[in-house]
Amino acid sequence: MNDSFSNVAALPVGAVSDADAARNPPASDAGFLWDFWYPAIRSGEIRGRQLVTAMLLEIPLVLGRTDDGHAFAMRDSCPHRGIPLSYGRFDGEAVECGYHGWRFDACTARCIAIPSLTSQDKLKVERIFAGHFPCEERDGYVWVFMTQAGTRLPATIPAAPPLPVFSKSYKITHLVCELPSHVDQGIIGLMDPAHGPFVHKSWFWRSRHSIHAKEKQFEPIENGFRMSTHTPSANSAPYKLLRKMTGEAVTTTIDFVLPNMRLEEIHSGKLWFSSRATVTPVRRDLCRIDFVAAYNLPIPVAVVRPFAKKFLRQDQETMIQQAEGLKYHPKLMLIDDADRQAKWYFALKAALLESRRTGKPLVHPMDGPVTLYWRS
């Protein structure tokens, strides 16, 4: 065992590990990870010069696309008196506040006009900015780089994370689902192997009686961990079908990467399936799963979607039930090895915050490959 956790059978939340700070943030701190890209809305939601609102990490946003095709994201609040800018007008270049008509360049959020000023006024209009955030469109989403109010943008901002694809042409499909939970619960639900046979009972997937011992290899990767490339369990129909199609072995690799991303790649011969689920904090009591899958299998999207939808719906129903219980702040447990990925998530989150605090490199909670054992 190479990870930094002791092998206690049950870890009461808030009692043992050094990840406590991340798991139980103080009331003022919602436990969000800033300075990362988050998907805000689907690209198609912005039509023409329409302004669209969204909320990420408890920040209200107004989004749009300029006439020359650049998506933008501003804080949905006029710096004059705080009325949401989304009640104003957008002419394809500038957003005009609906209250006193101040105008802001959409891409820089710099104020370009204050109609009430006379030639006597000395106010430097160009020094006034509305709140704004880096914004990029990718894989059918408008991504926003969320920085905390009052902090500067990091010196370099990476590109918004692309979904890996492995051929020129492919099919792509998107699904969305809201969960009435803190993002941490959403993420550990996503990386939870033990709920499968109970929550995802389906004729096409598996039944609770198919539960069996598993042994999976994990390895550390930058800002995350990987379930190493392996041949998935033979008892699920989709893998059997894939094997039949190509006659070649099926392999799968699953990554978790901070702040919120599960990536899965399945390959068999020339055929591939690549999916990404992100869990994005909307408020501290609400998060959203955005699921996107691309593939080159000869199967129409209309066939794949209902299965993915059913899966998400099953997770959502469970999380709604869980939220009912969490209202009363029960003590929770994380057990080895089935909950080890959840422990890694909390430890990674704590390590990231610590590295940002000290300016030192992130100390990864895993110091090498680890094999985990569970039944699912």
Binding site for ligand FES (CB under 6 A): 78, 80-81, 83, 97, 99-100, 102
Q: For residues 345 and 355, what is the distance between their CA atoms, to the nearest angstrom?
A: 15
Q: Which stretch binds Fe ion (CB under 5 A): 45-53, 97-105, 307-315, 332-340?
A: 307-315
Q: Which is nearer to ligand FES, 114 or 176 (CB)?
A: 114
Smallest gap from residue 71 Cβ to ligand FES (A): 22
Q: Which is nearer to ligand FES, 61 or 372 (CB)?
A: 61
SS3 content of the chain, % helix, strand, coil (to 5): 25, 35, 45
Alpha helices in 118-267 (DSSP H): 183-190, 196-199, 237-246
DSSP string, 84-152: -GGGSEE-SSEEE-TTT--EEETTT-BEEE-TT--TT----GGG-B--EE-EEEETTEEEEEE--TT-P
Q: Which is nearer to ligand FES, 115 or 369 (CB)?
A: 115
User: Which of Fe ion, ligand FES, none is residue 78 near (CB under 5 to 8 Å by kind)?
Assistant: ligand FES
Smallest gap from residue 67 Cβ to ligand FES (A): 23
Classify the phi-psi angles of 187: left when phi > 0, otherwise alpha if psi is within -120 to 50, otherwise beta.
Answer: alpha
Range 46-85, binding Fe ion (CB under 5 A): none
Question: What is the size of the binding site for Fe ion (CB under 5 A)?
Answer: 1
Q: Which stretch binds Fe ion (CB under 5 A): 52-60, 229-237, 311-319, 349-357?
A: 311-319
Size of the chain, expressed as the number of residues it contains: 376
Smallest gap from residue 314 Cβ to Fe ion (A): 6
Element (H, E) at 353: helix 340-358
Smallest gap from residue 95 Cβ to ligand FES (A): 10
Q: Give, in order, the Cα–Cα distances in Å from 29 to each of 148, 149, 330.
A: 11, 13, 20
Q: Say if residues 251 and 231 touch (Cβ distance below 8 Å).
A: yes
User: Which of ligand FES, Fe ion, none is residue 42 near (CB under 5 to 8 Å by kind)?
Assistant: none
Smallest gap from residue 114 Cβ to ligand FES (A): 8
Smallest gap from residue 292 Cβ to ligand FES (A): 36
Per-residue burial over 75-107, b = 16 or more CB atoms within 10 Å of its CB, e = otherwise: bbbbbeeeebbbebebeeebbbbeeeebbbbbb
Asked if residue 315 has a cis previous peptide bond (ω within 30° of 0), the answer is no
Q: Which is nearer to Fe ion, 76 or 315 (CB)?
A: 315
Q: Pick from 286, 266, 287: which is nearest to 276 by CA?
A: 266
User: Which of Fe ion, ligand FES, none is residue 270 near (CB under 5 to 8 Å by kind)?
Assistant: none
Please state at what angle helix 183-190 crosses helix 301-326, rounded to 10 degrees: 130
User: Which of Fe ion, ligand FES, none is residue 315 near (CB under 5 to 8 Å by kind)?
Assistant: Fe ion
Q: By beta-carbon distance, which residue lies closest to Fe ion?
A: 315
User: Which of Fe ion, ligand FES, none is residue 339 near (CB under 5 to 8 Å by kind)?
Assistant: none
Q: Which stretch binds Fe ion (CB under 5 A): 42-50, 108-116, 308-316, 354-362?
A: 308-316
Q: For residues 375 and 194, what is the distance between their CA atoms, to the nearest angstrom?
A: 7
Q: Which is nearer to ligand FES, 78 or 144 (CB)?
A: 78
* Contact letters for Fe ion, residues 260-299 (x by CB under 5 A): ----------------------------------------
Smallest gap from residue 276 Cβ to ligand FES (A): 38
| Choice from 76, 315, 336, 337 touching Fe ion (CB under 5 A) | 315
User: Which of ligand FES, Fe ion, none is residue 102 near (CB under 5 to 8 Å by kind)?
Assistant: ligand FES
Q: Pick from 38, 40, 55, 15: which is nearest to 346 by CA?
A: 15
Q: Quote the tokens at residue 120.
A: 């006597």
Q: Which is nearer to ligand FES, 97 or 183 (CB)?
A: 97
Applying CB under 5 A, the residues found at the interface with Fe ion are 315
